[in-house]
Amino acid sequence: MPKIKYIEHSGREHEADVPVGWSVMEGAVKNLIPGIDADCGGACACATCQVYVDPAWLSKLPPKSDMEETMLDFAQELRPNSRLSCQIKVTPELAGLIVQMPKSQH
């Protein structure tokens, strides 16, 4: 099972084993990791699961869909490496992925 590292805005780190096929958001919610609210439950209908993807991992992720781009327009503290964690499906290749949560989601 791939390990994902979640870093709260404060710098506190959490590592979680996340099953292949789950989203990065599901991994956070089901492991009770603070900072990912996921108000819409992963339907790509809000931006409360925004994360900043470590730059070393950006090229390993699939491109953003049009829907994700639209929802990110509603996110606070948007950065070039912002993604919605509900739209990142965990694959074996993502073992070691590092994401950080924005200050607005603490």
Range of the domain at 57: 3-105
Number of structural domains, the chain? 1
Residue 50: CB atoms within 10 A of its CB come to 28
pLDDT digit string, tens, across residues 12-55? 999 999 999 999 999 999 999 999 989 999 999 999 999 999 99
Helix (H, G, I), strand (E, B) or coil at 56: helix
For the entire predicted model, the pTM comes to: 0.95
Q: What is the pLDDT of residue 104?
A: 84
User: Looking at the predicted structure, is the pLDDT value of residue 106 above 80?
Assistant: no
Run of H or E including 70: helix 66-72
In the structure, what pLDDT confidence band is assigned to residue 1 with cuts at 50, 70 and 90?
very high
Q: What is the CATH number of the domain that holds 57?
A: 3.10.20.30
Q: How far apart are CA 30 and CA 65, in angstroms?
A: 24
